[in-house]
Homo-oligomer: A and B are copies of this chain.
Amino acid sequence: MYLADRTWPELGDYVAEESVAVVPLGSTEQHGPHLPLATDHLIAEALAREAADRGGYLCTPTVNVGVSPHHKQFHGTMWVDPPAFRDYVESFSRNLSYHGIDRIVYVNAHGGNMEHLREVGRRLREDEVAFAVEWMWDESIPTLVSDLFEHNGPHGGPKETAMIMHIAPELVREGKLEDARDGGLVELSDGDLFVHGARNYYDAIDNTENGVLGDQTDATPEKGERLFDAATDQLVNLLDWIDEKPFPDLMAKPHVDPQPGSRRS
């Protein structure tokens, strides 16, 4: 169920009976010459809506702009600084608890948001306000991703291309797939990524001239559909798993024994 399409009286049963919210988050950032800047938030939104509908959960609107300063050199990339992103997400998450929501899955399709969602999740859990966990679609189906693509590329590669071919085919510039591959970095391990153990890059442009990685010509709508279905299955399973857990089981384990102060005279 998509929260924003409902009227408030229609949400009464959910608020009374349920405790899970699905929150899609993405980015608005360059994805090469063949994919729209919307790529990440489109993927997150499509997966979150589909899984929420299948599983009977509540899906919120999408956070469209995330933490993407590492793509800034390319036209149109938007980003918020990490503290502002964390505080924005924490604030609406915390406020969701007013309606009894105490489990949140951040359906995320932008790697740069992950550590920040994790930090927000920890804050909410430390206060026992909610259990909020980030989820990245491709990390839920690593084997399938590897099986489908030889050079899958972590950004703007065939896996994201295939997903957009399935979700929003009109937004894929088919004629640019070869350009995308030839002007970028096909194999991540060919990049000059580390120097003596330190990261040798801050920005996407440090490793790829057109902003993308992998072999985009390997993407097809059919592969996109397989990815989408498999990831949705994973997400529904995750939502069911969280839904069924007693709340205390989702909170931090107690201090090991002996308990602090337990033998204080």
Contact = CB atoms under 8 A, between A and B. Distances in A.
Contacts of A199: 118, 133-134
A80 B98 contact: no
A77 B8 contact: yes
Interface string A1-43: 0011111110111111111000000001011111111100100
B80 A84 contact: no
A20 to B, nearest CB: 11
B95 A80 contact: yes
A188 interface: no
B73 A141 contact: no
Interface in A197-248: 197-199, 202-203, 205-206, 211, 231, 234-235, 237-238, 241
- Which of A69, A199, A260: most chain B Cβ within 10 A? A260
A119 interface: yes
Contact of A260 (B28, B35, B85, B98): B98
Given A15-B75, A75-B12, A235 B196 contact: yes
15 contacts: A4-B64, A5-B36, A8-B32, A16-B259, A28-B60, A28-B61, A60-B65, A73-B255, A79-B95, A84-B87, A87-B87, A88-B88, A100-B260, A100-B264, A133-B199
